[in-house]
Amino acid sequence: MVRNVLGGVLAVLGAAGAVASPFRPWYAARLGREYRLPDLFSSGGITAAHPNLLWSLFLPFLLAAALTLLGLLTRLRTPVLLAGVLALGFAVLWAVRAAQANGDSLTLAADGSGLRLGVAGAAGGGVLLLLAAGIMAGRVRRAPAPPPVPVPPPPASAGGPDEDDWRAPASYGPTGANGTYGSSRPGPYGGPEPEPTTPLPTIRPQDR
């Protein structure tokens, strides 16, 4: 948590310095937004033409700030790292092309006729973004939850009495005063279980 906060502060400072650098003088009195972005990749080198804002050095630093914001919102170090490489890379590329346009040399004069604060803001912002990416811990990955331990089923009773074994076996025979056959199995309330009975045949005297 502390690393993410410290890295976030450095990332914000670096992105702010990088995105504000095109509005400051880079060399002599020329602002960074007055350099054409295609001149850095053309064979003719840097020219005196003044482009619009989106085709100047402002575009790569704006992209660096957007990547920084994405990295802070998602707590990922990769976008912040790419933002630092982008800002520092374009600052170095400009320095190479500007040195070619000035006879392979760049001066640093106290009277403001050489390198100015705009270059320092772009390069320093890129360095801060790289440091922020190295300090940030990124997302904290939670350890996966352990799988549930299966609960073994209770052991079955080996030869023990079952629930139905407690009931007395049925016995059939004459049980009533009227000589009926029925079951003597105990019922649910202690008496005999009601079951259909068959009456004994009655032998009359005339049938003898």
Lowest-pLDDT choice from 26-40, 112-126, 158-172, 193-207: 158-172
**Nearest one of 58, 60, 54, 66 to 11, comparing CA atoms:** 66
Contact between residue 136 and residue 8 where contact means Cβ atoms under 8 Å apart: yes
The size of the chain, in residues, is 208
Identity (one letter) of the amino acid at 127? V
Please state the pTM of the whole predicted model: 0.64
Q: Is the Cβ–Cβ distance between 90 and 57 less than 8 Å?
A: yes
- pLDDT at residue 57 tops 70: yes
pLDDT, tens digit, for every residue of 120-168? 999 999 999 999 999 988 766 666 777 787 777 777 655 555 544 445 5
Residue 198, both tokens: 């068959």
